[in-house]
Structure 1
Amino acid sequence: MFAALGLLVAGVVVLETVRHRAERIQAQLRPVEVQSRVFGALPRQAWQWQPRPLEEKAVREALGRRGRTALVALPGARGAGKSQLAAGYARWCLDQGYDLVAWINAESGPVSELAALAAHLGLPGVAEMAPEQAAAAVCRWLERDGRARRLLVFDNVDDPDVLHGYVPSAGSTKVLITTNRREFMTMAGIAVVEVGMFSPAEAREFLARATGLDPAGDGARLGEQLGWLPLGLAQAAAFIARTGISYAEYARLLQRQDLNETLRQQAGADHPGVLKATQLSLTGLAETDHSGDAARLLRVLSLLSPDGVSRDLLVQAEPQLGLHSGVWPAVSTLVTASLVTLGGVAQAAAYGEDRRVVAVHRLTALVVRHEARKPPGDDQKAALDTAAGLLDALTERFPGDQVALRRDELDELAAHLDAVLGHTDEPSPLLLAQANWIAGLLEQAGDLTRALPLFEQTLANRERLLGAEHPDTLTSRNNLAGAYKSAGRLNEAIALYEQTLADRERLLGDEHPSTLTSRNNLAYAYRSAGRLDEAIALYEQTLAVCERVLGAEHRNTLTSRNNLAGAYKSAGRLNEAIALYEQTLADRERVLGAEHPDTLTSQIDLASAYVSAGRLNEALALHEQSLAVCERVLGDEHPSTLTSRNNLASAYESAGRLNEALALFEQTLADRERLLGDEHPSTLTSRNNLAGAYESAGRLVEAIALYVQTLADRERLLGDEHPSTLTSRNNLAYAYRSAGRLDEAIALHQQTLADRERLLGTEHPDTLTSRNNLADAYKSAGRLNEAIALHQQTLPGRPSQKAH
């Protein structure tokens, strides 16, 4: 009977999983109401736009008639006007009443912006997807409905492979690709409209309209000198129109420009005339920009991300730019000189409010940096210092508790930092401080993939430039250790923490605050690795020093006492833990007040210890009290409030009050998904906890679905060996066992036990839990000899469990 019941449950689980997946895919393919017909930063029409009727006609013909998909590439040299040609077609599509025009900046790959497009369209289920899944969902949606009129532009594609899997191949969507890569010329299924230089006739027409001068003769010779490249002609025309000189005079000035051969090689272009035209435009700025504002701003912009800087960030950092007349007069001067471009209005939901983007063409930026580095090089140094100050102002204003809500701003800051670091061999201490800060924000956002390399780079730079014993270097080593710990790389974390502690003890002394911080951090890493005796010894040592040096009521002393209580709790010394927690809570209430964040932490920690000791009524009272204070003082959406709500839900679950637990877990998960994003570690924790509550309530189908999703996300985001990944694997195995899927349960328990023994050691509490869980699974499967052997090995025994 039990075997039959197990098979029935397993069958139901499979059917429900398939049904949910099918419903999700169908929902993604249903029509959605497009809130805005434009997505992305559509470039504005260039100054004195020159129509290119042959290319424009070829694009329209290649994209074909309404009702069928089409894929067209626009290859051409940098500065040839590919993006302007694509933007012109996009505007034509809007005039023709297209349902959607989406502009994707694809230089670094299309995934992130396609995922933002999915959110903009409101595709069902996108909030639960990884960026790659959301990008694929958009492509599936674009392949539906042959009557819709849609244009998708991938701008500035630098690697054809990044588009694989993200280009609609059916339906009626038109796709345009701008690129400087020639590979697109021979790829199957792609129509090619090559964007070359202006024809002599187009160049003469452009020069005549832009300058008001007859281009015959000298104008034609100037076009030849500039290789007929639109970017060079635009800069020349802007200079001539501003100064009133003739084509011949401009050509003579151009010849006097000194073009270093190294600059030509770096530019990767066979148009020295264009580079010289940029040099001449820079020289000419002084005649119309007596304050020097435009030139100073241009040098800073040339150091920032080539994708451009958003208007919002420029306005925020305006005081740090040191401009006499403000940002926008300087930007206007640069636009008039064709040295920068203004992007269109970004209307993607992920970007928040609309924003304008100021960008410097890559060739232009190269010349600007080359000129600024000329001896004595003061201009380059000043620009780097200003860029560091700009980043300093922006990071100082960035609210750390809103990092998940402002990911687009954080991503832009990280892109600017990466660009600036790439333009200097000796980053200043201020710039390294910004790198350390931005890495910390990325870690806080759960983006360890980007945070870890930045922490590592910052530490290497500080060791090289400041020395291995500089305080900032020690801080970097400590921060990198913390990031390794967050990533589950405990051995590397402990090695760095040990090195930092030894250095601080030697350089600063045993009682310096930074030394005490290092000792506390190392103790916490030992505790995470299951080395509880070492952790407790360090915590006890730290507490003794704090009490002697700082006093029994100092905030750091109270924190140290709370940490020691946590180590006692992990070691199963509950009476000692509870006594310390109660003492710390009483002291914090008296010294800091009942509503101080540290006091709330003490309440939560004591309540958790009460739960472990089976004192559930006391635990619930404390959790309910702390949640009420958090909601009143911090607000319903503060991260600490969400944590408090999660903890109360866990206590309700432990007390068997499952309906109340489920309601709170569901509310917390929804809030974290909305406020922190689907991939934040706290969101994954909430999803895991809700799955556990579903399991406790006997709702195994829902529990298993959430456990499977959480495990997949943690494996992808944190790696196979992260402690949280191992917890998810253990929990899914436990749920499989409850559902009678014993083979799957045993396989996962075996894998988890092997990983925990290898990573944490044979005596770590989590390892003991895994050994006991596997023994119970063997017992359920009738493999009694194996079960008994494992239980004897685990003595004095631990209860099998799933983990929150």
Structure 2
Amino acid sequence: MRKEPPALAKVVPQIEASGKGSVVIDGHNYGLVMTGDGARAVELPAEALRPPAQVDAPPGLDDLPLHRGPFVGRTSELQRLDAALAAPGGVLVQAVHGLGGVGKSTLAAHWAATRSHGCVPIRWINADSPTGVHEGLVALATSLQPALAEALTQGALAEYALQWLATHTGWLLILDNVNDPGDIAPLLARAPGGRFLITSRLATTWHDVTTVVRLDVLDQAEAVDLLTRRAATTAPGRNMDGAAELCAELGYLPLAVEQAGAYLAQNLLTTPRAYLDLIGRDPAMMYDQGAVGIDPERTIARIWRATLNRITADQPLAADLLRTLAWYAPDHIPAELLGDITEPVVNAAVGLLTAYSMITADPATGTLSMHRLVQAVARTPDPDDAHRQPQDIDAAQHHAIVGLSLPDSTHSNRAAWFRLAPHVAAYCRNAPAATDSPWVARALNNMGVFLDTEGFNTEAVRYLERAFDFHQRPGKSRSNPEAHAVRGNLAIAYGNAGFPRVSLPLAWQSLQDNINALGEEHPRSLTALNNVAGALYRDGRLADATSLYERSLQLHTATLGADHPHTLTARNNMAIAYQRLGRVRDAVTLLEENLRTRKRVLGEDHPQTLLARVNLADAYKVGGRLGDALRCFAENADSCRKFLGAAHPTTLASDEGIAAVYQAHGETGRAIALLEETLLARRRLHGDCDPRTLECRNQLAQAYQAAGDLPRAIGYFEENVTLKTDAFGEDAPTTLLARNNLAHALLGKAGHACQAVRVFEDNLARRERVLGPTHPDTLVSLRNLAFAAREAGDQEGALKYLRLELHRREQTLGANHTDTVVSRENLAFFLAEIGRVGQAIPLLQANLALRLRHDGPDHPDTIAAYETLQAAAEYAEDEE
């Protein structure tokens, strides 16, 4: 039986899948096929497929950062941003630049959130790097179309955001903390229809920006307000003692003030003053530490560390320069202190620091400025900070003091000395004395001598004391010539500052040291001899002082020559001693010669020439030549204003001399007006307790007294007594002088004679104990006590004191001295007043003979003596 063949299969095409995860579909498929690890499917709504130009910004797209603290100040900056936004035109780019921590981001966020700018949406982009800009654009795209986050790559999302910005208007982008303009350049170029607000530490790269706002620190009131409001969030009404001082220490930098306020809010028992003390004890920790809840990367130390990381990556020298600048005053730092500023590497480093707002350069003055808190952080060692390693800070401190190498000539480089003075002062504040080196001692000595010469004696003492202390350290050679020089300079400064008793032993020791080491005729020994004479003079020992001054002038002339500046100083000093001894004619002769020589040798405008003219004018005044005195003082005042400035001590001394002549002429109103101005200038220049300020106040009080305004005079005298007691002690000679003048004013006030007697008696006892019975000031006390006793009705007491004064003056000054003559006249007048004319006439006859011999027949004092004697003789005849 034949078999049938099998049925043939239906022939169809054969499809095979190949590879891992592949699939084969046989027939129609209407579903989603997914394959591969992590495969996902995204279902987009139809609107997500619209091009960016057709997408409107939904509500609630703003993403400004939350600022928890209070916002203070910045009115003018906000108004500038408002004005720029209101101006018509196309794309608007505004830039706010400034130091890290100055509040740029806070200002931008506050302006965007509170002003009526009408921008929608407002987007915040952290633009400190290309990555930050990219992430900000991606966030904008996904906020516009959330579904695209699953469908597009990061690059495609950023492109989507750029297209949206390019096709829409009215939006505002805040590009925060831009470190490189190149990071945002493509964004600015492609999106011309909106508004940009840029914040950056970069100060010099915003040439094409519509509005540039340089943000500075807060003012004092704003900073205190910010600190108080921030600290009071947890304890309203808390103790804010020291708030102003703390804000000043922080340089009114908003971030630093906020950091401090947050710390105070967290530590309720800590006052601002206590926080200030914490900074002094552990600055590294306080600058780096924030309160709980504060971003640790937002403390002032870490913000500037990040900036320096960027700067030093390009220019390592920049950190060295910043650490060096940290030792100077914050403002007006001469660029040459950093070395040769034209050196390419130095120039590049300074430029980079300026670009990042770490310093500010002023091309008009050739100076740099640096925020005081940046300085404080930069000179505070921190082993955890690569830019603040202890050895690097020590090296910077040394470079800073070497940079303060002072010019040699105090006159020809006078302006340079004054430019450096605040930076020497800042170095002294910032550097502990324990770190002083020979470089430091040398700089302090030189600056001390300069300031003492210029009349800033109190400041000079501070520098010279520190230099002296350095040379007195254990192990230091006492025979070092520099140590001898410092001791002598300190002695001079003490004397000029009103401390003759402190000055004298130093001056004697300096003289002995120099003679032993160098010989009597060496210039340093001659200077030391002159200094001893000056200390004796200020201590009232006029005879001893004059003897040494004469010896000093003789040696100076023989050794250095008659025209040497040191010889001229010796001649000036001797003349002033002669004047004090009553030898006014001799003094005038020497001072006239000195002025002529100084003009010829030093020039008309030299400070010593101008000072010589003041001394001559004063001698004219004392000698009764008021016209010559006024002319001389007035000419000098004009020259001083021209060459030294209106506020220079010699200028003010000239004005005080003019006022004294006015008062001698009876023009008390003019004298008072001029002295009021001069006192204000003295207080600004020297402070209230400087001897020159105190003397100016005393002169003003005497002018009011002469004008009959005793209440005002007494007020000034009392103020002087208080200031001198606080500054020098109640038994200091200058304090006793102030008490004497106060008592004299009380004597003129009705009903206060007995009170004046008590003050004079107390003052006399103190002066006899402190100064000795024959000191000139003690003799003045005797005379004043006599007049007070007379006013109080105690005739015998007055007579006793007048006779004792005359006896002591004849013993110490001699019968011919001007002060002795005046004492003799006073005794004679009082004897005549109480009816003892017969006893008065011999005294008046002796005085007339002395006046004729000393002053000549035509001198006003001689004429007055003759008339007084004649009147007394006629009175005696009438009595008989």
Residue 477 (structure 1) shift: 0.8
Aligned positions of 1:367-382 closer than 5 A: 367=382, 382=395
User: 2:324·2:400 contact (CA, 8 Å) conserved in 1?
Assistant: yes
Residue number among 571, 584, 608 corresponding to 1:574 in the alignment: 584
Measured at CA, do residues 733 and 621 of structure 1 come closer, stay the same or move farther in structure 2, by a change above 3 Å? same
- After superposition, the CA RMSD in angstroms is 5.4
Shift of 1:525: 0.7
Task: Flag the 1:327–1:749 CA change in 2: closer, same or farther, 3 A.
Answer: farther
Structure 1 position 436 matched with structure 2 position 515:
no
**Partners of 2:450 and 2:595 in 1: CA distance:** 30
Matched residue, 2:36: none
1:768 aligns with 2:779: yes
Cα contact 2:610–2:650 (8 A) shared by 1: no
1:389 to 402, 427, 450: 402
Match of 1:726 in 2: 736
The residue identity in structure 1 corresponding to 2:506 is L
Is 1:782 aligned to 2:856, yes or no? no
SS in 1 for 2:332: helix
- 1:775-797 Cα distance to aligned partner (Å, 9 max, x none): 22222122444434333332246
Structure-1 residue corresponding to 2:269: 186
Query: Would you say 1:738 and 2:748 are equivalent positions?
Result: yes
Distance in 1 between residues matched to 2:360 and 2:561, nearest whole Å = 59
- Distance apart, 1:461 and its partner CA: 1.4
Following the alignment from structure 2 to structure 1, what is the Cα–Cα distance between the partners of residues 402 and 382? 23
Paired with 1:641 and 1:729, the residues of 2 have a C-alpha distance of 28
SS of 1:366's equivalent in the other structure is: coil
Q: Distance in 2 between matches of 1:750 and 1:738?
A: 17
For residue 8 of structure 2, what is the aligned residue in structure 1?
Answer: none
SS of the residue corresponding to residue 539 of structure 1 reads helix
Q: 1:359 aligns with which of 374, 395, 399?
A: 374
Residue number among 318, 324, 327 corresponding to 1:294 in the alignment: 318
Residues 296 and 670 of structure 1: is their aligned pair in 2 closer, same or farther, counting only changes over 3 Å? closer
Which residue of structure 1 lines up, in the alignment, with residue 332 of structure 2?
312
1:469 Cα deviation from its structure 2 partner: 1.6
Superposition map of 1:306-705 within 5 A: 310=330, 312-313=332-333, 315=335, 317-319=337-339, 324-326=344-346, 329=349, 332=352, 342=358, 356-357=371-372, 359=374, 362=377, 365-367=380-382, 382-392=395-405, 410=421, 413-421=424-432, 425=435, 427-439=436-448, 452-464=461-473, 467-585=477-595, 588=598, 598=608, 600-624=610-634, 626-627=636-637, 630=640, 638-669=648-679, 671-672=681-682, 681-705=691-715
Three-state SS of the structure 1 residue aligned to 2:477 is: coil
Per-residue deviation at 1:448? Answer: 7.0
Mark the runs of 5 or more structure 2 residues left unpaired by the alignment.
Answer: 1-62, 73-99, 116-218, 232-238, 248-253, 276-285, 810-818, 827-880
| Larger CA Rg, structure 1 vs 2 | 2
Q: Specify which structure has the bigger relative contact order, considering alpha-carbon pairs within 8 angstroms and separated by 6 or more residues.
A: 1
Could you tell me how far apart the structure 1 residues matched to 2:413 and 2:689 are? 17
Aligned-partner Cα distance in 1 for 2:417–2:631? 31
Question: Per-residue deviation at 1:499?
Answer: 0.4
Seen in structure 2, the aligned counterparts of structure 1 residues 680 and 754 have a Cα distance that, compared at 3 Å, is same
Distance 2:512 2:230 in 1: 50
Shift of 1:506: 1.2
Q: Secondary structure at the match of 1:645?
A: helix
SS of residue in 1 equivalent to 2:773: coil
Q: Residues 299 and 691 (structure 1 numbering): CA distance in 2 closer, same or farther, change over 3 Å?
A: closer
1:151 to 193, 217, 225: 225
Aligned partner letter, 2:509: Q
What amino acid is aligned across from residue 242 of structure 2 in structure 1?
A: L
CA contact (8 A) 1:391 1:434 kept: yes
Question: Residue 294 of structure 1 contacts residue 334 of structure 1 at CA under 8 Å; is this kept in 2?
Answer: no
* CA distance 1:586–1:363, change in 2 (3 Å): closer
Per-residue CA distance 1:391-420 (angstroms, 9 max, x = gap): 3369999999789998xx855642323433
Aligned in 2, Cα 1:162/1:51: closer, same or farther, shift over 3 Å? farther
How far did residue 539 of structure 1 move? 0.9
Question: For the residues of structure 2 that align with 1:404 and 1:742, how far apart are their CA atoms?
Answer: 52
Code of the aligned partner of 1:742: A
Separation in 2 of the partners of 1:522 and 1:628?
Answer: 34
Question: CA 1:235–1:680 in structure 2 vs 1: closer, same or farther (change >3 Å)?
Answer: closer
Deviation at 1:771, TM superposition (A): 2.1
Deviations 1:724-765 (A, max 9, x none): 433332222211111233344334434433443333222111
- Distance in 2 (CA, whole Å) between partners of 1:477 and 1:84 is 47
Structure 2 CA distance for partners of 1:501 and 1:321, relative to 1, 3 Å? farther
Give runs of aligned pairs for residues 84-95 of structure 1, distance below 5 A.
Answer: none
Say which SS state the counterpart of residue 365 (structure 1) adopts. Answer: coil
Q: Distance in 1 between matches of 2:758 and 2:361?
A: 53
Deviation at 1:698, TM superposition (A): 1.7
Pair 1:166–1:553, CA change in 2 (3 A):
closer
In 2, Cα distance between the equivalents of 1:634 and 1:361?
A: 34
Inter-partner Cα distance in structure 2 for 1:548 and 1:469: 27
Distance in structure 1 (CA, Å) of the matches to 2:760 and 2:112: 61
Q: CA separation in 1, counterparts of 2:381 and 2:772?
A: 54
Q: TM-score with structure 2 length normalisation?
A: 0.55
2:331–2:368: 8 Å Cα contact kept in structure 1? no
For 1:230 and 1:597, locate their aligned partners in 2 and report how far apart those are by CA, in whole Å: 50
One-letter amino acid of the structure 1 residue matched with residue 333 of structure 2:
L
Following superposition, the deviation at residue 624 of structure 1 comes to 4.7
Secondary structure in structure 1 of the residue aligned to 2:225: strand
- Match of 1:65? none
**Counterpart Cα distance in 1 of 2:376 and 2:246:** 27
Matches of 2:628 and 2:460 in 1, distance apart?
40
- Residue of structure 2 aligned with 1:757, choices 762, 768, 781: 768
Q: Is the 8 A contact 1:536 1:564 kept in 2?
A: yes
User: How many percent of aligned residue pairs carry the same amino acid?
Assistant: 28
Whole-Å separation in 1 of the counterparts to 2:111 and 2:717: 45
Distance 1:513 1:763 in 2: 34
Shift of residue 568 of structure 1? 1.9
Question: Relative to structure 1, is the Cα distance of residues 372 and 544 closer, same or farther in structure 2, using a 3 angstrom cutoff?
Answer: farther
- Partner SS for 2:785: helix
Offset of residue 526 of structure 1? 0.2
Return the offset for 1:328. Answer: 7.2
User: Which whole-Å CA distance do the structure 2 matches of 1:545 and 1:359 have between them?
Assistant: 54
Q: Measured at CA, do residues 431 and 713 of structure 1 come closer, stay the same or move farther in structure 2, by a change above 3 Å?
A: same
Contact 1:155–1:179 (8 Å) recurs in 2:
no
Shift of 1:497: 0.4
CA distance in 1, matches of 2:488, 2:272: 53
Unaligned 5+ segments in structure 1 are 1-49, 62-82, 99-137, 143-147, 169-173, 204-226, 240-280, 347-351
Counterpart of 1:130 in structure 2 is none
Does the CA contact (< 8 Å) of 1:524 and 1:535 recur in 2?
yes
TM superposition shift of 1:325: 3.4
